[in-house]
Amino acid sequence: MVYYAVYYAVYYVVYVVYYVVYYAVYCAIYYAVYCAIYYAVYYAVYVVYYVVYYVVYYA
C-alpha cells in the first residue's frame, strides 16, 4: 500500500541523514573530508535504493 511506501521512505531518509551526520562528524575528527563524502554518497545511494524498492513493492 502507499502508506507503507511513504512510511519506509521517511524511515530510510531519517536513517540516512543520521548516518551522514554521524560519519561526517566522525570523519572530520579522525580522518578527512573525503571520508565524510564517501559515506554520505554511500548511504544516499543506499536510501534511494530502498525507497524505490518499497515504493514499487507497496504501490
pLDDT averaged over consecutive 10-residue blocks of the chain (59 residues)? 77 84 76 75 84 81
Distance CA 23, CA 41 (A): 11
Task: Give yes or no for a contact between 55 and 6, defined as CB atoms under 8 angstroms apart.
Answer: no
Question: Where exactly are the structural domains of the chain?
Answer: 2-58
Distance CA 34, CA 57 (A): 34
Task: Give yes or no for a contact between 6 and 54, defined as CB atoms under 8 angstroms apart.
Answer: no
What is residue 34's predicted lDDT score, i.e. its pLDDT? 76
Neighbour count for residue 8 (Cβ, 10 Å): 18
Question: What one-letter code names the amino acid at 32?
Answer: A
Is the overall model pTM greater than 0.75, yes or no? no
What is residue 2's predicted lDDT score, i.e. its pLDDT? 73
* Nine-digit cell string for 5: 511506501
